[in-house]
């Protein structure tokens, strides 16, 4: 008989992996129903290249990760949308194309509060935005 203690935490990890796999397959299936012209039109509307749009569509978690990172850094996503919508869209694009989402999610899970922007490809943009606004978030420890 196999001891159950050896499986502590593993069912959750498998369930999480299965959920992520199903979500990826769903996104892939949704893109498959769109024509090339539809995909090009959506990409143009979002001010993205078609290849960038496809990459972002296949990549999970970007909006949630960006929202968490902004909040941790002391930014209000709603204020950015209202006052600096173009900058927020660029932040979303960069986050959506980021290749380090796994590390980002792990950092956010550990609540890295020493410097919530360290290692983020949006770090320089957010620092510049904070200087422009005139009140840098307090949590930009270096």
Q: Determine which of 70-74, 113-117, 128-132 has the lowest per-residue pLDDT on average.
A: 113-117
**Is 121 within a domain?**
yes
**Is 73 within a domain?**
yes
Residue closest to 139 by CA, chosen among 118, 110, 122: 118
pLDDT of 48: 81
5 pLDDT above the threshold of 60: no
Strands (E), 1-142: none
Q: Residue 16: give the domain boundaries.
A: 10-133
**Is 109 within a domain?**
yes
Whole-structure pTM value = 0.63
**Is 5 within a domain?**
no
Band of residue 10 on the pLDDT scale cut at 50, 70, 90: very low
Mean pLDDT of 63-71: 85
Q: Is there a contact between 92 and 84 (Cβ–Cβ < 8 Å)?
A: no
| Domains held by the chain: number | 1
């Amino acid at each position: 008989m196999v001891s159950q203690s050896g499986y502590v935490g593993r069912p959750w990890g498998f369930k999480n992996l299965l959920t992520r796999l199903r979500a990826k397959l769903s996104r892939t299936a949704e893109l498959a129903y769109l024509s090339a012209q539809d995909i090009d039109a959506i990409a143009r509307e979002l001010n993205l290249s078609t290849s960038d749009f496809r990459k972002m569509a296949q990549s999970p978690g970007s909006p949630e990760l960006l929202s968490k990172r902004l909040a941790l850094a002391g930014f209000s996503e709603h204020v950015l949308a209202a006052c600096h919508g173009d900058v927020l869209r660029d932040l979303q694009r960069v986050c959506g194309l980021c290749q380090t989402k796994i590390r980002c999610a792990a950092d956010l899970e550990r609540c890295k509060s020493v410097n919530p922007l360290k290692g983020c490809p949006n770090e320089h943009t957010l620092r510049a935005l904070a200087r422009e606004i005139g009140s840098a978030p307090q949590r930009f420890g270096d």
